[in-house]
Structure 1
Amino acid sequence: MSVLVTGGAGYIGSHMVLELVEAGERVVVLDDLSTGFDEAVPREAVLVRGDAGDQDLVARLIGEYGIDAIAHFAAKIVVPESVADPLGYYLANTGKTRNLIEASVRAGVRHMIFSSTAAVYGDVTANPVSEDLTPAPVSPYGRSKLVSEWMLADTAVAHDLNHVILRYFNVAGADPAGRIGQSTPRATHLIKVACQTALGQHPVLEVFGTDYPTPDGSCVRDFIQVSDLARAHVAALAHLRAGGGCLTLNCGYGKGFSVLEVVAAVKRVSGVDFPVKLSPRRAGDPAAIVADASRIRALLDWQPRYDDLDVIVSQALAWEKRLAQQSAA
């Protein structure tokens, strides 16, 4: 048995690949390398450059490597970009997912883990957010992921393809051993950009929105460390292989930090009091969203290891320093 990881050369996908390889799994990575990096893929895994929506390629890989499970990470993920390019997001996140699901069904794959997002919930009125809340996404990004969730649910009724949908909250940090991290040069993740600013790579950190109905006026988010998230995927795979049914689960820690609190943490950990520019809100950003993570802990017996904002920031900062050293060499 082998696991196909689409987008496995990207930030979250590469951490999943690392966890799988260390668990002794045979892993095939399918990535077009548009935002991923071949050096992020462990040498023990097979890397195939290609499109997750290419049904012929997916079918060939399933047959050649004996794929019994697929972890689907390949996607576009920037909310403001989705507002400007909705059709591009529906193609990448919905259309190609549909093709991948069909290829999986035709080839007899029985297990799929789908990378979804808390953006499906939209601008919630109360926190923490349970999986039972009716989704109401406010961005094309969130909608593109929700439609993919619906496709999986409908497919599970008609075919023998069970799935676990993992709704990520805000992913941050890096591999604790420093092997991989968030490497996309123009990534918009708050902690990454704040760490880059602390290292002098940006003249100022821009904070979007200071008039939200939150304690300090900035957005509140639930930050989950990336290796903890990857281990949630491994637990989901074990659940499916053991005959478990379809699940939809939040991936977060169940507590929120405001943007300004995160900025303060980066300043504290880095020792750099970098400048901050306060700017108007961005389209598609909810005021606050925090996970009710009780279900994933109960059903998958998942326990986080890095539930500490300063630890997450320290990992991210160390990774940014390493990237800076590599680019200077």
Structure 2
Amino acid sequence: MKVLVTGGAGYIGSHVVRQLGAAGHDIIVYDNLSTGYRWAVTCGELVVGDLADEAALDSVLAAHNFDAVIHFAANIVVPESVENPLKYYRNNTRNTMNLLAAIEKHKVPYMVFSSTAAVYGMPPETVLTEELPLEPINPYGASKMMSERMIMDLAAASSLNYVILRYFNVAGANPEGLLGQATPEATHLIKVACECATGAREGMSVFGTDYDTRDGTCVRDYIHVEDLAKAHVMALEYMANGGESRVLNCGYGRGFTVREVIEVVKRLSGVDFPVQETGRRAGDPAALMADNSKVVDVLGWKPDYDDLDTIVGTALAWEKAWQEKRGRQVD
């Protein structure tokens, strides 16, 4: 297929682009490089542009007969979304509308959308199905929920088919060291812990130790970025073979506590970095895991890296290489 990938120079998008290229697809990456990197685009052609620039976006779709769009481009930091909500509604929601208008105009038949478990908010359930009501508790989750609704509404009014993938906690890096998470000021637990292990941070905090979990800290479902990327490629194949529009959770269906993750990072790195235990953050559920039965059944998806040591090991190897590349001495 001829595929447009928005945000394809970012962490998850770059892994998907590499897998798309390996599968023989023809790729155009559209990215403003605000959090992505030119070097991360290992396949296809990079067009530097912003989704807010409707004329530039239209010219890219006019110049290529795209079979599909995979839409990653978004801001994703929850605390920032609370402090600056309009940034998230502009970039995540309004710019998705701009992209959908171009998709409708140029009659692109397929779309895969990068969504999030944040659309569920704080449900009483700990293992989440796609049928749960959407009750986001922050502007990031709300901006993604609105984008999902726009995609569904356009599909109902046109011939567009879509697969919406709701991510849980994405982590890890390409096992060959080609790609990894280079996002500045990242907030994800495994990335932060790996930065501590390599000396890029002096220490880290654990927010809340009194949850009703096996060790008092939050439980999350961590999915390796390569397994998540695989789901995107399979979603395109699914639609090309006549599959109907679907919403699918992407996770492993089991979780690890914050303390367990930190201990794995310390064990694999051999570094006992400082960890400060502090109070809960507002809006952190005790446990969130994916019911992934639909992505398994619908796409035939099977994970290759469903192992916390593997996830952390690839993330740690990438972080060491990334810090050395930036001129930081890593023991």
Instruction: Give TM-score scaled by structure 1 length.
Output: 0.97
Distance in 1, matches of 2:204 and 2:61, equals: 44
**2:59 — aligned with what?**
60
* 1:245-279 CA-partner distances (Å, limit 9, x unpaired): 11000000000111111111111111111110112
Could you tell me how far 1:131 is from its partner in structure 2?
A: 0.6
> 1:210, CA displacement in angstroms?
1.8
Matches of 1:261 and 1:214, distance apart in 2: 12
Map of 2:208 onto structure 1 = 209
Work out whether 1:296 is the aligned partner of 2:295.
yes
Shift of 1:139: 1.1
Work out whether 1:144 is the aligned partner of 2:136: no
- CA deviations on 1:22-52 (whole Å, 9 max, x unpaired) are 111110000000000010001x410011112
Distance 1:251 1:295 in 2: 9
The alpha-carbon deviation at position 87 of structure 1 amounts to 1.1
Cα distance, 1:125 vs structure 2: 1.2
Deviation at 1:201, TM superposition (A): 1.6
Structure 1 unmatched ranges of 5 or more: none
Q: What is the aligned-residue RMSD (CA, Å)?
A: 1.1
Distance in 2, matches of 1:213 and 1:144, equals 30
User: For residues 13-24 of structure 1, what are the structure 2 equivalents within 5 Å?
Assistant: 13-24=13-24
1:281 Cα deviation (Å)? 2.1
> 5+ unaligned residues in a row in structure 2: which ranges?
none
User: In 1, are the aligned partners of 2:121 and 2:134 still within 8 Å (CA)?
Assistant: yes
Query: Which residue identity does 1:314 align to in structure 2?
Result: G
Is residue 106 from structure 1 mapped to residue 105 from structure 2 by the alignment?
A: yes
Q: Which amino acid aligns with 1:191?
A: I
2:131 aligned counterpart, secondary structure: coil
CA contact (8 A) 2:68 2:109 kept: yes
Alignment partner of 2:205: what SS? strand
CA–CA separation in structure 1 for the residues paired with 2:206 and 2:220: 14
Cα deviations by residue, 1:290-324 (Å, 9 ceiling, x for unpaired): 00001000000000000000010000000001011
Q: Which amino acid aligns with 1:318?
A: A
**Contact residue 79 and residue 284 of structure 1 kept, 8 A:** no
Question: Which residue does the alignment assign to 1:163?
Answer: 162
2:250–2:290 CA contact under 8 A, matched in 1: yes
Q: Which amino acid aligns with 1:231?
A: K
Q: CA deviation at 1:55?
A: 2.6
What does residue 39 of structure 2 align with? 39
Q: Does residue 80 in structure 1 map to residue 87 in structure 2?
A: no
Number of residue pairs matched by the alignment: 328
Distance (Å, rounded) in 2 between the aligned partners of 1:58 and 1:302: 32
CA distance in 1, matches of 2:52, 2:301: 31
Matched, 1:183 2:182: yes
Q: Check the 8 A contact 1:83/1:284 in 2, yes or no.
A: no
Q: Which residue of 2 aligns with 1:282?
A: 281
Identity of aligned residues (%): 55
Letter of the structure 1 residue corresponding to residue 73 of structure 2: A
- Residue 57 of structure 1 deviates from its aligned partner by 2.0
Distance, in Å, in 2 between the alignment partners of 1:119 and 1:285 is 11
| Partners of 1:124 and 1:288 within 8 A in 2 | no
1:129 CA displacement: 0.7
Whole-Å Cα distance in 2 between the matches of residues 284 and 57 of structure 1? 38
Q: Which residue of 2 aligns with 1:242?
A: 241
- Counterparts of 1:110 and 1:287, CA distance in 2: 40
- Say yes or no: does 1:198 pair with 2:197: yes
User: What's the TM-score once normalised by structure 2's chain length?
Assistant: 0.97
Q: SS at 1:70's partner residue?
A: strand
Worse-matched range after superposition: 246-255 or 185-194: 185-194
Mapped to 2, the partners of 1:162 and 1:320 lie a distance apart of 37
The whole-number CA distance in structure 2 between the counterparts of 1:286 and 1:175 is 29
Question: 1:207 & 1:59 partners in 2: Cα distance?
Answer: 45
Q: Which residue of 2 aligns with 1:261?
A: 260
Please report how far the alpha carbon of residue 215 of structure 1 lies from its aligned counterpart in structure 2 after TM superposition: 2.2
Amino acid at match of 1:112: M
2:152: which partner in 1?
Answer: 153
Tell me the distance in 2 between the aligned counterparts of 1:132 and 1:227.
26
Q: Give the 3-state SS of the residue equivalent to 1:142 in structure 2.
A: helix
